[in-house]
Amino acid sequence: MPKPDLDRIDRNILAGLQADARISNVDLADRVALSPSPCLRRVRRLEEAGVVRGYRAVIDRKAVGLGLTVFVEIKVARHSLETAAELQDRLVAIPEVVACHMVSGMADFLAEVVVPDLEAYERVLTDKLLTIGVIEDIRSNFAIRSVKVDGPLPLGRLEAEG
């Protein structure tokens, strides 16, 4: 899929949607200095191009009983496409893994695991992660406090064109 050309208005629309995905088209159009019809056309174009992948509610983890976040560094035993694919498939299938990245450095993958408490993490570790045969080493880093989560992408300041 080719990367769409994003002008300042597109970036302002994206910044507006990141700030409030429930904003009405009329209010968004006003914020980016467009009339509603062209604004809606641009939003739909951004959606169709895959720039806007979807809309979601950001849930407070603690409010729903998920008070422990663990960043898990995973090192694979053998580096190969098959090993990476197997590990990725297994990690994606674990509901407690809310994000996972292939990384460079001491670890090969970094997984973000969200659970209610330490006992629940122990179950994820022993029953799910340690059963994945291609894993050589696991290091768990417990989040003490979240400073910034679910931050918007740095698209630039929302400003009207003119």
Q: What is the CATH number of the domain that holds 27?
A: 1.10.10.10
Establish if 148 belongs to a structural domain. no
Same domain, 69 and 21: no
Return the CA Rg of the chain.
20
Short-list 129, 52, 119, 67, CA closest to 95: 129
Looking at the predicted structure, is the pLDDT value of residue 157 above 60? no
Question: Domain containing 122: what range?
Answer: 62-142
DSSP H or E run through 115:
strand 109-115
Establish if 115 belongs to a structural domain. yes
CA separation (Å) from 69 to 8, 30, 138?
36, 39, 15
pLDDT of residue 161: 43
Establish if 147 belongs to a structural domain. no
Establish if 43 belongs to a structural domain. yes
Establish if 158 belongs to a structural domain. no
pTM comes to: 0.84
Q: What is the mean pLDDT of residues 50-69?
A: 95
pLDDT of residue 158: 46
Same domain, 69 and 127: yes
Instruction: Report the share of the chain in percent with pLDDT over 90.
Output: 86
CA 149 to chain centre: 10
Same domain, 70 and 35: no
CA 30 to chain centre: 29
Short-list 162, 155, 161, CA closest to 46: 155
User: What phi and psi, each to the nearest 5 degrees, are found at residue 129?
Assistant: -70, -50
3-class SS of residue 76: strand
Per-residue pLDDT tens digits for 114-142: 999 999 999 999 999 999 999 999 999 99
CA distance 162 to 159: 9
Per-residue pLDDT tens digits for 74-114: 999 988 999 999 999 999 999 999 999 999 999 999 999 99
pLDDT of residue 160: 44
DSSP H or E run through 48:
helix 36-48
pLDDT of residue 79: 87
Looking at the predicted structure, is the pLDDT value of residue 162 above 50? no
Looking at the predicted structure, is the pLDDT value of residue 59 above 70? yes
pLDDT of residue 134: 95
Mean pLDDT estimate for the chain = 92
Same domain, 68 and 136: yes
pLDDT of residue 156: 64
